[in-house]
Structure 1
Amino acid sequence: MSEWSVGEPRKLSFDAPVTALHVRIVNGTVNVVGTDESSARLEVSAIEGPPLTVTQKDGALTVAYDDLPWKGFLKWFDPKGWRRSVVVSLAVPASTRVEVGVVGATAVVSGIDAGADVKGVTGDTTLVGLSGPVRATTVSGNVEAQGVAGDLRLNSVSGDLTVIEGTCPSVKADSVSGSIILDLDPSGGPTDARLTNVSGEIAIRLPHPADAEVEANTASGAVSNAFDDLRVTGQWGAKKITGRLGGGTGRLKATTVSGSIALLRRPQSEDEPWDAPRPQKAPAGTDDAPTEQKGL
């Protein structure tokens, strides 16, 4: 086993194979990016408070505070722990399995193929271009997943959960009061999506044409539906949106207690230009007509 104590800005390179990465920090930022290289690199560009411990053993690279365990991570609290901050950047092979835990810090994970597990308390999490199983859990921080191709599991208390251009075979998102926004990319296959909220809103944008069996309901919130093939039932209190789109291969189930539910339709081609605004006629009695604005 190799071990380093990092108490000031420093760069480290690891020639031994890295198959798993574990990061646990308080305050600051952690950036993890997958590369096609076989080696791993670490840069600590800023650090305040106690040193980080970096260890490498049996293919596992760990960058963490000694007093911050992964087990029970979301319940960790130490008044002295808030007097620390660190900015960490890591480049690891894309085949590395990644675990990241942040308390009050921002986490960005991109380009990982072997899956990732991210836990956050108050910091925001961004996941980009990941495949393999992905899970993100947060208390009050926001989670945004873009271009994720593996099975996706998101959980929050009050943080917002957003999925952009998802091609995930399955999505499961649960929140108490944060909003859930799901945007499915038409290039992906049928998706099994199950979304649950209490008081937060749920908005889903489906490809057009879509292929899903739909069941969405709210106990007291408003609903909106952009698909003619779906039925909206209930006028006061509980409301439902049900029906089949296309062959019904995929499945969409969304439930909220008091939040609203919106089903939106993605345009067939987002490359089509926007309709240009028509030039306005000059009011009677004026000499000059308004000039038509050119698109940007």
Structure 2
Amino acid sequence: MTQSSWEVADERRLVFDAPVTAVDVRIVNGTVNVVGTDGGSARLEVGSVEGPPLIVTHEGTRVTVAYRDLPWQGWSKWLDRKGWHRSAVVSLVVPARADVAVGVVDAAAVVSGVEGDTSVRGVSGDTTLVRLSGRVRAESVSGGLEAQSVTGELSYDSVSGDLTVIDGAGPSVRAGTVSGDMLVDLTSSGGTPIDLALTSVSGDVAVRLPDLADAQVNAETAGGAVTNAFDGLTVTGEWGAKRVTGTLGAGAGSLRASTVSGSIALLRKPPADEEGAASASAAGSAPGPTSGKVV
């Protein structure tokens, strides 16, 4: 198996002429940007490096960009921030079908246009995912995740990071947090049943569904408020624990959401013609309720 290796201590650009089907990036502080493309060779641009050099290897069809002392396992040691004097700005252009794995500590990560599987693990630092069609797995301690137009399976686990899904059209979203809030905005899925499973301890959970949603619904909170915008759903419990249950459409899909002390909001998107007229003025804003009763 052919292997090439580079030690990168300052700005540098590398082009990988041999095929690339997987990339691993692990950095502390700075920024990671991975973009999938349909043509051309994979290439790496390192904007700046402070502290230890990055080690870049191209082994077989896998490219790795990382520090020698930052493995995938044993992330707990990076919670002790003493002695961190490093930063890097890394941009990768890769074939769209490549698998992408990113690990960050106090760094922002952006992955877009990738059709292969994507994995993001972080101690802190926010992650943005745009137009991904493969399976997505994200984990963080305190960093938030924003997913835009993701059509693959999405799973997310965090202690205090927030989850925001915009125009989600994937087959499933599964997420769990301790104190992070979750806002999931689903677009029309072209007949694919909804499959949502969202859990939090103290975070708020809000889901905005298409007007013609199709799912069995079971959402509950032990101590928070409930907002429900669907006439076909029933809210039970006026004091303490509250639950929203019922069937939307034919009930082919599933929506399960629970939080202990946070609020639950089930919001309805306007019909397609109304939404199209309003989308230009609302672009970039967080989705909000169209109607609903707070209990």
- Report the Cα offset of residue 190 of structure 1: 1.4
Deviation at 1:77, TM superposition (A): 4.7
1:8 alignment counterpart: 10
State yes or no: 1:37 paired with 2:42: no
Contact 2:170-2:189 at 8 Å conserved across structures: no
CA 1:78–1:62 in 2, change beyond 3 Å: closer, same or farther? farther
2:284 aligned residue: none
2:67 to 50, 65, 68: 65
Q: CA deviation at 1:74?
A: 4.9
Q: Residues 191-215 of structure 1: CA distance to partner in whole angstroms, max 9, x if unpaired?
A: 2100000000000000011101000
Distance 1:58 1:31 in 2: 22
Match of 1:109 in 2: 111
Checking the alignment, whether the CA contact within 8 Å between 1:26 and 1:81 is kept in structure 2 is: no
Give, in whole Å, the separation in 1 of the partners of 2:114 and 2:183: 23
Q: For the structure 1 residues 80 and 44, does the alpha-carbon distance in structure 2 shift closer, same or farther, using more than 3 Å as the test? A: farther
Matched-pair contact (CA < 8 Å) for 2:216–2:254: yes
Query: Larger deviation: 78-87 or 24-33?
Result: 78-87
In the alignment, which of 271, 277, 282 is matched to residue 272 of structure 1? 277
State how far apart, in whole Å, the 2-side matches of 1:78 and 1:170 are.
35
Unmatched segments (≥5 aa) in structure 1: 275-296
Partner Cα distance (2:210, 2:184) in 1: 11
Aligned-partner Cα distance in 1 for 2:278–2:68: 54
Q: Secondary structure at the match of 1:76?
A: helix
Which of 75, 78, 85 matches 1:76? 78
Q: Identity of counterpart residues, as a percentage? A: 63
Q: Distance in 2 between matches of 1:40 and 1:75?
A: 32
8 Å Cα contact 2:127/2:144 also seen in 1: yes
- Deviations, residues 199-237 of structure 1 (Å, cap 9, x unaligned): 000000000111010000011111010000000000111
Number of equivalences:
274
Instruction: Give me the whole-angstrom Cα distance separating, in 1, the residues matched to 2:115 and 2:68.
Output: 28
State the TM-score, normalized to the length of structure 1.
Answer: 0.90
Q: Deviation per CA, 1:141-165, whole angstroms, max 9, x where unpaired?
A: 1100111111110111111011111
> Which residues of 2 match residues 1-296 of structure 1 at below 5 A?
1-77=3-79, 79=81, 82-188=84-190, 189-269=192-272, 270-273=275-278
Say if 1:73 and 1:101, in contact at 8 Å, map to a contact too. Answer: no
Write the letter of the residue equivalent to 1:174. Answer: G
User: Structure 2 regions of 5+ residues with no counterpart?
Assistant: 280-295
Q: What one-letter code is carried by the residue in structure 1 that aligns with 2:221?
A: T
SS of structure 2 residue aligned to 1:271: helix
User: Counterparts of 1:85 and 1:217 in 2: how far apart (Å)?
Assistant: 43
What is the DSSP-based 3-state SS (H/G/I as helix, E as strand, rest coil) of the residue aligned with 2:277?
coil
Mean Cα displacement is larger for which, 11-20 or 184-193? 184-193
Q: Whole-Å Cα distance in 1 between the matches of residues 142 and 80 of structure 2?
A: 18
Distance 2:75 2:111 in 1: 19
Taking the aligned partners of 1:71 and 1:90, their CA distance within structure 2 comes to 23
State the distance in 2 between where 1:144 and 1:202 align.
Answer: 15
Counterpart contact for 1:40–1:92, Cα < 8 Å:
yes
Secondary structure, counterpart of 2:240 in structure 1? coil
Distance in 2 between residues matched to 1:133 and 1:177, nearest whole Å: 25
For 1:170 and 1:187, locate their aligned partners in 2 and report how far apart those are by CA, in whole Å.
Answer: 11
The more displaced of 263-272 and 170-179 is 263-272
Q: Is the 8 A contact 1:25 1:105 kept in 2?
A: yes
User: In structure 2, do the counterparts of structure 1 residues 178 and 50 end up closer, same or farther at CA, with 3 Å as the change threshold?
Assistant: same
Of 49-58 and 181-190, more deviation after overlay is shown by 181-190
Q: What is the CA-CA distance between 1:132 and the residue it aligns to?
A: 1.3
